[in-house]
Amino acid sequence: METTLIIAIYGAVLSTIALLWNIIIRIRDRPKLVPKYSTGFLQWGHGLHPIFSITITNPTKYKIKLVSIEIHFKNGQKMILVDSGDNLPKEIFPLDNHTVYRDIQKIKQAIDEQGEPDYILVRDATDRKYKGSTQRMVSHVNALCNSI
């Protein structure tokens, strides 16, 4: 009878570990978008043009339909960064990304009017929200605008 009890306890412990492992995998394995901003210069035509860009990356195995990109400010206002050239809504395939470009002067004007940005927010077709950092955005935008 001791052998049966040991096997039963072993089976219960093993199945509990397997259940917990599957729960952890399920929680971690869900759709996710990662928005990041950058500043720099793009060359087209006859020169370099300062730009602000936001790249939205899909690091998961799911297709996700991107529908909205916004910058939220600490004063409660937001700047919606969607126009006809962005082709939104857009499906972002697994391990792929989508980038939108904006004139740096418009971003600087919004920062001057609204103050410090709080976060970048992107939404998918299910209205799930994904936040990105705006750390040092003001200094990056100002530095680029002052170098023009």
Convert the pLDDT of each residue in 8-57 to its tens digit: 999 999 999 999 999 988 887 888 999 999 988 887 777 778 888 999 99
Please name the residue that has the structure tokens 């998918």: 124
E-state strands within the chain? 34-44, 47-57, 64-73, 78-80, 90-92, 97-103, 117-124, 129-132
Domain spanning 31-146 has what CATH number?
A: 2.60.40
Banded model confidence at residue 1, pLDDT cuts 50, 70, 90? low
Burial 55-64 (b: 16+ CB within 10 A, else e): ebbbebeeeb
pLDDT, residue 144, reads: 80
The residue among 127 and 42 whose pLDDT is bigger is 127
Q: What is the pTM of this model?
A: 0.77
Domain range annotation of the chain:
1-30, 31-146
> pLDDT tens for residues 64-102?
999 999 999 999 888 888 776 677 888 999 999 999 888
